[in-house]
Chain A
Amino acid sequence: MTRPRNYQTEAVIIKKTKLGEADRILTLYTPDLGKIQAVAKGVRRPRSKMAGHLELLTHSQVSLARGRNLDTVTGSQTIDGFLPLKGDLELTSCALYLAELTEQFTADHDENRPLFELLLKTMHRLCQDTDRELTLRYFELHLLDLTGYRPQLGRCTACSQALKPETNFFSPCAGGVLCPGCQPTQPAAHPLSLDALKVLRWLQDSEAEDFGRLKVSRPLSREMETLMRACLRYLLEREVRSTAWRDTLREQAAPRQVAEEEGEG
């Protein structure tokens, strides 16, 4: 089958690297073609017509021409520039984190429309005023689900017994939860509180629309973040780079948050 020389697709720009003097290689996440890379010529020049439509974290309609090696972007039109997100330091760091995870967990040309929709939906969700951490946990769990790494949270991964309402253990390399009886077989398991297990399970099975009402305390939120981070690190075999930046921002915000918490108490 001959493929057309020019084609169009929707895409979210999830990564960019410089190429030569004024060009860039973009990594695009698309609904029907999965992750693709393309050369955008001249986008680092100030008068580029395409540059603004091809910035990171932009949802665009992109026209491409097939090349021998990499395809070339011939035109682009923004669908959603996610302006509220880009004007906010913390939100941008969250969205970059989504982009990096998407980039890391997918292979080129591996179509995954639900993942594309998950990415867009999560970015829109970040623009709204919701619990950012829960939004990120929701994304992580569903990303793992859609890429074939769904953590098993219902039963013990070793003995397959239903989990009792007590402190269980979470093991990234076992791919889910271990009951206290099986925990000694996996030394690298993290304790998992009952509340965290409940929230993670619920996020894993819920649709994005309905978790806005959920309220989670800060320690619980931190616990789930630590667990998911361990899980992602195990699967990627490295740290997710943008987490370091999110940590920096959070450390600076820390004094303020402590003050707020004291005020609440």
Chain B
Amino acid sequence: MNQEPTPPTDAVSGLIQALNRLPGVGPKSAQRLAFHLLRASDEETRLLAEAIMSLKQKTKLCSVCLNVTGTDPCRICSNEQRDRTKICIVEQPQDILALEHTGVYYGRYHVLHGAISPTEGVGAGDVRIRELMARLGDGSVTEVILATNTNLEGEQTALYLNKLITPLGIRVTRLARGLPFGTELEYADDVTLTRALEGRQEL
């Protein structure tokens, strides 16, 4: 196989390598992006560079819910309008964006930053459960909504949290699992269909 031709300068090849490490960016895309930036205006590249720099400098984890935020506590946790008695538990910050987009949830969140995955060596101590339990300690929370993913790891995490939280006398609920909107029944798997039947509702 031919080797990739060496780019003209170290600066270009350095950028290509850096871009190449990003998810979903292959060597050709990295090259295209690098040469695009080379031709772009100074203003454009400066804005991009600043945006990347401030990403790390100006963001931190909210001390309450562990969401990614610019202010601490984050906008959701410091919003007095939001229901303090409900906490929705998600695996990653992106999940909050998805839930917020629906506009129907007015409680707060807690980000676990992962899910329990025994075969990959991720145990209960490797996700942010301790912080969650500390939040539940003061008795102001009456309901915990488990919104972990519906795959095996997410389910395991949900079952485990249920076991930890139920003894505290807090209501634990799980997002309904059933048929996603816009799908066809014949392709549904057994688990989904079983859950959908179990959770059927009157129209």
A residues engaging B (CB < 8 A)? 15, 20-21, 46-47, 49, 51-53, 55-57, 78, 81, 83, 86-89, 92-93, 96-97, 99-100, 103, 241-242, 244-246, 248-249, 252
Contact = CB atoms under 8 A, between A and B. Distances in A.
B163 interface: yes
B102 to A, nearest CB: 14
- Size bracket, chain B contacts: 20 to 34
A92 B160 CA distance: 11
Contacts of A46: 180
A20 B26 CA distance: 11
B119 A96 contact: yes
**SS of A interface (majority):** helix
B116 to A, nearest CB: 7
Contacts of A88: 159
Given A20-B24, A52-B192, A248-B124, A15 B180 contact: no
A57 B123 contact: no
A245 B180 contact: no
A115 B194 CA distance: 30
B118 interface: yes
Contacts of B183: 47, 49
Contacts of A52: 188-192
**SS of B interface (majority):** helix
A44 to B, nearest CB: 9
Given A47-B182, A55-B151, A86-B155, A242 B118 contact: yes
B175 interface: no
B116 A78 contact: no
Interface string B150-169: 01100110011001000000
B138 interface: no
Contacts of B155: 86, 92
5 contacts: A46-B180, A52-B188, A55-B151, A92-B152, A241-B121
B23 A21 contact: yes
Contacts of B160: 89, 249
A51 B183 CA distance: 13
A56 B159 contact: no
B57 to A, nearest CB: 27
Contacts of A96: 118-119
Nearest to B162: A89
